[in-house]
Chain A
Amino acid sequence: MGKDKRRQAEKNLKETVKLYKTLLKTASEAVTVSDLEGRITDVSKRTLEVHGYRHPSELLGKSAFDLIHPKDHQEALANLAKTLQTGSVRNLEYTLLKKDGSTFTGELNAALLRDAEGKPSAFIATTRDVSHRVKVEEELRQVKDHLQAVLDGIDESIVVIDAKYRIVSHNEAFAKSLRKTKEKTVGEHCFHVIHDYAKPCRNCVVRDMFKTGSPEFDVHYHLEKDGKIYHEVKAYPIRDGKGKIIQSIYVFRDVTERETMYERIRQANTRLEELSKMKSYFISIASHELRTPLAIIKGYVDVVKGGMLGEVNERQKTKLNAISGNVTHLDRIIDNILDLSKIESGDLKLSFRKTNLSSLVSSVVEDFTPLAAERGIRLKANVNPIPKIRIDSDRIKQVLINLVDNAVKFTPRGGHVTVSIRKTRKLAVIKVEDSGIGIPRNRLDDVFKSFFQVDSTRKRSYKGVGLGLSICKSIVELHGGEILVFSRVNKGTSVSVRLPL
């Protein structure tokens, strides 16, 4: 070669080497050059930084494999061979080592360098620390998994639908709820997948939501093979960065059981209302239809008994009295039934007036004196004056009559009945005590229940249907008071009525 040519070649080489060294120095990438055996011949500054070294001398001459974690060595070897074959390999990911032994994830591109004759001479690799990216990717995956787990954990069907009714995504509950097995859901029309319709549902809340811009809710049914299926549906908006609604979150729940139950309850309620109206009507008619004949029977018996149609002998008078007694009895039963019915339907009306309760008690005791005398019972009144009290006097009188009647009825000859009234700081207390047959302890709680009778086998001697005390309790309670019973079998009973002053 001529002297000039050699000098030119040397100059070119020097320039090339200079360019090359500058490139290496200034490269922002981590560049590593190694020979064909993988021994490092040159490194850029960035390579040192990335692997935690300070000076090139620490790495030059070392094996490139020292920079790679042993677990990836096999793969690295294979890739090396590949680079030799194909000339370049891209996007390799290895766990790389730092000087202090810590690891990081690196992304590598490797290329084969050839000499002037085209023979492989070296490997050149660029490395990028992608730990950060890998970490972010891992976090993202965790978040995604978490969200999916949350969505799949909810047992309501959740579907994301776009503006053209196509399914974008959904949770597991939705997949499970589909009555048929559908391989494909994403991308299909929601109305087709869910209902097998050819076009959107009549009352589509997703469509409404797109229109109104706010969440829409509905409960409706779809007619299917096995009858009405009720769905509770909700559509929520998903907006893009500019606030425009791009998709809808569609949540729906099968509420067929609930709705059919509601429907049943509604029907039952309507029937109950009708029945209640019928009952009131019948009872008011019945009371009139029953009382009129009673009035006629009683009237004529009184007329005959009173001698207005001719003389009546003692025997006739006695029997006529028996008829009158039974008429009165029937009348009381009708009263009780009417009262009970009113109480049950909440129709019992009280008219409150300031009343002298003490004189009311005295008058009731007076009324019962003849009957008590007839039955050989000592009837006594223990009346203390109390201030006038606001009560429905007719109804309270009804209660007192009932209680005294019971006391007299259930006390044998020779016994006593005492009716007392006194006041405490807040209450008026009326007590009816007798020395009668008493009520067994295990039946004390039943005393105020409808149809209660102490001993139903004795129904014949103790007239009554058993409604009286239950009505008394309701009346007293409607006054804001309470009624209490204490009793000992064969010793006697004490009934206490407490009314607020």
Chain B
Amino acid sequence: MAKILVVDDEPEILDILQIMLEDAGHAVEKALSGYECLDKLRKNKFELILLDIRMPKMDGWETLRKMKEKGIVDGVKVVILTIEKGPGVEIFGLQDVVADYLTKPFDKNVLLKTIKNVMGK
């Protein structure tokens, strides 16, 4: 149903997300880092990005800022994956970019419901 890019430094998390999302009918591509994410965004068009925050070298916040700078996030919905909900979105001024958040460990139903909500807007 939607073209989704999942970004996380843990390959197993990416695997789980891919299985769950493809099972629900979405098309999924994976990126293991912020750099890979930016790279993929330049080459392809996505409708939704699931972005992990805590990543080494370049974390989710910096990736988002770079995406915003390069203008490659326009029209793309972003859902951030985080251990804990914090004030990061407000602090980095990314309210216009981030649509929603999911905490780990995430629930399959919550995951799918969130995506449905975000895509529906």
Contact = CB atoms under 8 A, between A and B. Distances in A.
Contacts of A288: 54, 83
A302 B54 contact: no
Interface string A260-279: 00000000000000000000
A338 B39 CA distance: 36
A306 B13 contact: no
Contacts of B20: 299, 302-303, 306, 308
Contacts of A298: 105-107
Given A303-B19, A308-B20, A295 B104 contact: yes
Contact of B23 (A296, A300, A306, A349): A306
B89 to A, nearest CB: 12
A304 to B, nearest CB: 10
Interface string B68-104: 0000000000000001110100000000000000001
A285 B70 CA distance: 32
Nearest to A294: B105
B10 interface: yes
Interface in B105-121: 105-108
Interface residues of A, number: 22
A295 B9 CA distance: 13
Contacts of B19: 303, 308-309
A294 B84 CA distance: 14
A394 to B, nearest CB: 7
A295 B85 contact: no
Interface centre among B20, B23, B108 (most CB of A within 10 A): B108
B85 A394 contact: yes
B75 to A, nearest CB: 29
Contacts of A297: 105
Interface string A308-339: 11000000000000000001000100000010
B16 A292 contact: no
Contacts of B107: 298, 302
Interface size class of B (residues with CB under 8 A): 10 to 19
Contact of B10 (A296, A303, A338, A394): A296
A338 B103 CA distance: 15
A327 B83 contact: no
Given A288-B54, A292-B10, A296-B10, A303 B16 contact: yes
Interface in B13-32: 13, 16-17, 19-20, 23
A308 B104 contact: no
A327 B107 CA distance: 11
A287 interface: yes
Contact of B13 (A295, A308, A331, A349): A295
Interface centre among A297, A306, A327, A331 (most CB of B within 10 A): A306
Nearest to B81: A295
A231 interface: no
A291 interface: yes
Contact of B105 (A295, A308, A338, A351): A295
A356 B104 CA distance: 27
Contacts of A299: 12-13, 16-17, 20, 105-106
Contacts of B54: 288
Given A287-B83, A300-B16, A303-B20, A295 B108 contact: no
Given A297-B105, A303-B16, 14 more contacts: A287-B84, A292-B13, A292-B104, A295-B16, A295-B105, A295-B106, A296-B10, A296-B13, A296-B16, A298-B105, A302-B20, A302-B107, A331-B105, A338-B84
9 contacts: A288-B83, A292-B104, A297-B105, A300-B12, A302-B16, A302-B107, A303-B23, A308-B23, A394-B85
In the complex, the 9 A-B pairs of residues with the closest C-beta atoms, listed nearest first:
A299-B16, A295-B105, A295-B104, A298-B105, A308-B23, A302-B108, A296-B12, A294-B105, A303-B19
